[in-house]
Amino acid sequence: MTGNRIARAVLILFFIGLLATPFVIKRFSARREADRSKFEAKTALARHGFYLEEVSQAAGINFVHQSPKLDPKLDPIMPEVASMGASVSIVDFDRDGWPDIYVTNSAIGSKNALYRNMHDGTFKDVAGQLGIADVNQPGTGVSTGAVWGDYDNDGYEDLFLIKWGRPELFHNDQGRGFTRVTDQAGLSPWINANTAIWLDYDGDGLLDLFVGGYYSEDIDLWHLTTTRIMPESFEYAKNGGRKYLFHNLGNGKFEELSAKVGISSRRWALAAAAADLRGTGHPDLFVANDYGVSELYFNDGKRFHEVGEQTGIGFAPKSGMNAAFGDILNQGRYAVYVSNISEDGILIQGNNLWMPKEGTTGDAVKYHNLARDFGVELGGWSFGAQFGDLNNDGTLDLFLTNGYISLDRNRSYWYDFSKVAGGNSTIIGDAKNWPAFEGRSLSGYQTKRVWLNDGAGKFVDVAQAVGATDTYDGRSVALVDLWNRGVLDVVVANQNGPLLLYKNTVAPQNEWIEFELEGTSSSHGGSNRSAIGAQVTLFWNGQQQVQEVSGGSGFAAQNDRRLHFGLGQNPHIERAIIRWPSGKVQTIDQPAVNQLHKMKEPA
Amino acid sequence: MSEPMSAPVVSPQAPAQKTPRFSLDNRYIAPAFITCILLAGHLSFGILESYQKTLLAIATSIGLELVLGRIFFHKWVHPASAYISGISVGILVRSPAFWPYALCSAISITSKYVLRVKGRHIWNPSNFGISVMLFLAAETVATLSIQWGNYLLPMLVIWALGSVIICRLRRFHITGIYVASFITFAFIRSWMTGSPWQSEIAPITGPMYQLFIFFMITDPKTTVRSKRGQCLVVFLVAVVEMVLRLDQIVYAPFYALFVVGPTAMLVEIWLDSRRANATNRTVAQ
User: Which chain A residue's Cα is nearest to B250?
Assistant: A415
Cβ pair B138:A344 closer than 8 A: yes
Contacts of residue A185, Cβ cutoff 8 Å, sequence gap at least 6? A169, A246, A252, A253, A254
- Scanning every residue of chain B, which has its alpha carbon at the shortest distance from the alpha carbon of A11? B114
Cβ of A448: how many Cβ atoms within 10 Å?
28
**Lowest-pLDDT range, A11-20, A355-364, A523-532, A557-566?**
A523-532
Closest CA to B157 of B28, B2, B40: B40
- Please tell me which residue, B16 or A333, carries the higher pLDDT value: A333
* Strand (E) or helix (H) holding A107: none
pLDDT at A401: 98
Give the angle subtended at the CA of A367 by the CAs of A243 and A365, to the nearest 5°: 90
Residue B216: what are its φ and ψ, rounded to 5°?
A: -75, -55
Cβ burial, residue B285 (10 Å; 0-12/13-18/19+): exposed
pLDDT digits (tens, 9 = 90+) for B84-112: 899 889 888 888 889 999 999 999 999 99
Residue A158, H or E segment: strand A158-165
Q: Give burial (CB, 10 Å; 0-12/13-18/19+) of B19.
A: exposed
Please report which residue ranges of A34-102 form alpha helices under DSSP H. Answer: 41-48, 78-81
| Cβ–Cβ under 8 Å, residues A16 and A9 | no
Q: How confident is the model at residue B7 (pLDDT cuts 50, 70, 90)?
A: very low
Task: Check CB contact under 8 Å for B99 and A371.
Answer: no
Q: Using a CB-CB distance cutoff of 8 angstroms, which residues of chain A are in contact with residue B99?
A: 21, 25
pLDDT at B46: 66
Whether B105 has its CB under 8 Å from any CB of chain A: the answer is no
Q: Indicate the pLDDT class of residue A260, thresholds 50, 70 and 90.
A: very high
The pLDDT of residue A316 is 83
Cβ A415–B248 below 8 Å, yes or no? yes
pLDDT tens-digit readout, B114-158:
999 988 889 999 999 999 999 898 888 887 555 666 777 777 877
Query: How does pLDDT run across B231-265, given as a tens digit for each residue?
Result: 999 999 999 999 999 999 999 999 999 999 999 99
DSSP string, chain B: --STTTHHHHSTT-GGG--TTS-TTHHHHHHHHHHHHHHHHHHHH---S-HHHHHHHHHHHHHHHHHHHHHHHSS---THHHHHHHHHHHHH-B-SSSHHHHHHHHHHHHHHHHSEETTEE-S-HHHHHHHHHHHH-TTT-B----TTTT-HHHHHHHHHHHHHHHHHTT-HHHHHHHHHHHHHHHHHHHHHH---HHHHHGGGGSHHHHHIIIIITT-GGGS-SSHHHHHHHHHHHHHHHHHHHHTT-TTHHHHHHHHHHHHHHHHHHHHHHHHHHHHHHHHH-
Q: Minimum mean pLDDT among A18-32, A345-359, B135-149: which range?
A: B135-149
Question: Residue B169 has what pLDDT?
Answer: 82
Q: Which of A360-374, A530-544, B271-285 has the lowest mean pLDDT?
A: B271-285
Cβ of A422 within 8 Å of Cβ of B208? The answer is yes
Across chain A, what does the average pLDDT equal? 95
For position B12, what pLDDT does the model report? 36
Whole-angstrom Cα distance, residue B37 to residue B196? 30
CA separation for the pair A76, A222 (Å, rounded): 15
Q: Does B248 touch chain A (CB under 8 A)?
A: yes
- Cβ–Cβ gap A315/B107 under 8 Å: no
Amino acid at B4: P
- Name chain B contacts of A344, Cβ cutoff 8 Å: 138-139
Give the confidence band of A256 by pLDDT, cuts at 50, 70, 90.
very high
Contact call for residues A292 and A268 (beta carbons, < 8 A): yes
A431: three-class secondary structure by DSSP? helix
Q: Do A25 and B146 touch (CB under 8 A)?
A: no
Q: Which of A35-39, A67-71, A145-149, A390-394 is the least confident region?
A: A35-39
The answer, yes or no, to whether residue B9 has pLDDT greater than 60, is no
- Chain A positions touching B95 (Cβ under 8 A) are 348
User: To the nearest whole angstrom, how far is the Cα of B249 from the nearest Cα of chain A?
Assistant: 7
Query: B126 to chain A, minimum CA–CA distance in Å?
Result: 14
Q: How far is B115 from chain A (nearest CA, A)?
A: 9
Please tell me the distance in Å from B137's CA to the nearest CA on chain A.
6
- Does pLDDT of B47 surpass 70? no
Residues of B within 8 A of A377 (CB-CB) are 96
Which of A291, A424, A434, A437 best probes binding to B when mutated, by most B CB atoms within 10 angstroms? A424
User: What pLDDT, on the 0 to 100 scale, is given for residue B15?
Assistant: 39
pLDDT confidence bin for A4, thresholds 50/70/90: confident
Closest-CA distance of chain B to residue A19, Å:
7
- pLDDT over 90 at A430, yes or no: yes
Q: Do B94 and A347 touch (CB under 8 A)?
A: yes
Chain B residues with CB inside 8 Å of A294's CB? Answer: none
Query: Chain B closest CA to A412's CA: distance in Å?
Result: 9
Residue B10 confidence (pLDDT): 35
| Per-residue pLDDT at A176 | 97
What's the mean pLDDT in A540-544?
A: 96
pLDDT of residue B6: 32
Whether residue A153 is predicted with pLDDT greater than 90 in this model: the reply is: yes
pLDDT at A489 over 80: yes
Task: Report the alpha-carbon distance of residue A209 to residue A264 in Å, rounded.
Answer: 15
Q: Which residues, other chains included, contact A569 with Cβ-Cβ below 8 Å and sequence gap of 6+?
A: A509, A510, A511
Q: What are phi and psi of A403, to 5 degrees?
A: 110, 125
Query: What pLDDT score was predicted for residue A66?
Result: 98
Contact A22 B106 (CB under 8 A): no
Measured between beta carbons, which residues in chain A are less than 8 angstroms from residue B111?
Answer: 15
pLDDT at B227: 93
Cα A9 to chain center, whole Å?
A: 54
Note whether B249 contacts A415, CB cutoff 8 Å.
yes
Instruction: Say yes or no: B65 contacts chain A, CB-CB below 8 A.
Output: no
What residues are paired with A502 via a beta bridge? Answer: A54, A490
Tell me the average pLDDT across A207-231: 97
Query: Please, is B55 exposed, middle or buried when counting C-beta atoms within 10 Å of its C-beta (0-12, 13-18, 19+)?
Result: middle
| Mean pLDDT value of segment A205-216 | 98
A22–B136 C-beta distance less than 8 A: yes
Residue B17 confidence class, pLDDT cut points 50, 70, 90 = very low
A574-595 residue pLDDT tens: 999 999 999 999 999 999 999 9
DSSP 3-state of A597: strand
Q: What is d(CA B57, CA B177) in angstroms, rounded to the nearest whole number? A: 31
What pLDDT shows up at residue A523?
A: 64
| Residue A424, phi then psi, degrees to nearest 5 | -60, 155
| Helix runs in A56-152, H state only | 78-81, 127-130
Whether residue B199 and residue A15 make contact (CB cut-off 8 A), yes or no, is no
Give alpha helix (H) positions in A429-552.
463-466
Q: pLDDT tier at A34 (50, 70, 90 boundaries)?
A: low
The stretch A257-280 carries a mean pLDDT of 97
Distance from CA of A29 to the nearest CA of B (A): 12
Residue contact B139–A428, C-beta within 8 A:
no
> Which of A27, A48, A29, A28 shows the shortest CA–CA distance to A464?
A48
Task: Say what the pLDDT of residue A264 is.
Answer: 96
**What's the CA angle centered on A19, arms A17 and A20, to 5 degrees?**
65
Give residue B35's pLDDT.
85
- Name the B residues in 5-44 with CB < 8 Å from any A CB: none
Q: In this complex, do B202 and A430 lie within 8 Å of one another by their Cβ atoms?
A: no
Q: Can you tell me the mean pLDDT for A61-70?
A: 98
| Predicted confidence band of residue B3 (pLDDT cuts 50, 70, 90) | very low
Residue A106 has pLDDT above 90, yes or no: yes
Pairing of strands A596-600, A511-518: parallel
Q: What is the pLDDT averaged over residues B26-32? A: 76
**pLDDT 10s digits, A405-419:** 999 999 999 999 999
Torsion sign, CA atoms A343, A348, A354, A358: positive
Contacts of residue B146 in chain A, CB cutoff 8 Å?
Answer: 233-235, 421-422
**pLDDT for the residue A155:** 96
* Per-residue 3-state assignment (H helix, E strand, C coil) for A222-275: CCCCCCCCCCCCCCCCCCCCCEEEEEECCCCCEEECCCCCCCCCCCEEEEEEEE
Q: From the list A233, A435, A436, which residue is nearest B150 (CB)?
A: A233
DSSP-derived letter for residue A121 is: S
In terms of Cβ atoms closer than 10 Å to its own Cβ (0-12, 13-18, 19+), residue B157 is middle
Nearest C-alpha in B relative to A237: B149
* Parallel, antiparallel or unpaired: strands A335-338 and A352-356: antiparallel
Q: Which residues of A touch B45 (CB under 8 A)?
A: 236
**Per-residue pLDDT band at B26 (split at 50, 70, 90):** low
* Closest Cβ opposite residue A12 in set B114, B194, B201: B114
The mean per-residue pLDDT over the stretch A46-72 comes to: 97
Percentage of chain A exceeding pLDDT 90 = 91
**pLDDT attached to residue B22:** 45
Q: Does position A448 have pLDDT exceeding 60, yes or no?
A: yes
Distance of CA A44 to the CA centre of its chain: 26
Q: Smallest CA–CA separation between B275 and chain A, in Å?
A: 29
Distance, in Å, from the CA atom of B17 to the CA atom of A461, rounded to the nearest integer, reads 57
Distance from CA of A140 to the nearest CA of B (A): 32
b/e for B230-258, b at 16 or more Cβ within 10 A? bbebbbbbbebbbebbeebebbbbbbbbb
How far off is chain B from A498, nearest CA to CA, in Å? 30
> Higher-confidence residue: B79 or A168?
A168
pLDDT value, residue A32 = 57
Reported as a pLDDT band with limits 50, 70 and 90, residue A1 is: low
- Cα–Cα nearest to A546, from A573, A565, A570, A568: A565
Convert A355-397 into a string of H (helix), E (strand) and C (coil).
Answer: EECCCCCHHHCCEEECHHHHCCCCCCEEEEEEEECCCCCCCCE
Pick the most confident of A23-37, A422-436, B88-102, B133-147. A422-436
Put simply, whether B208 touches A (Cβ < 8 Å) is yes
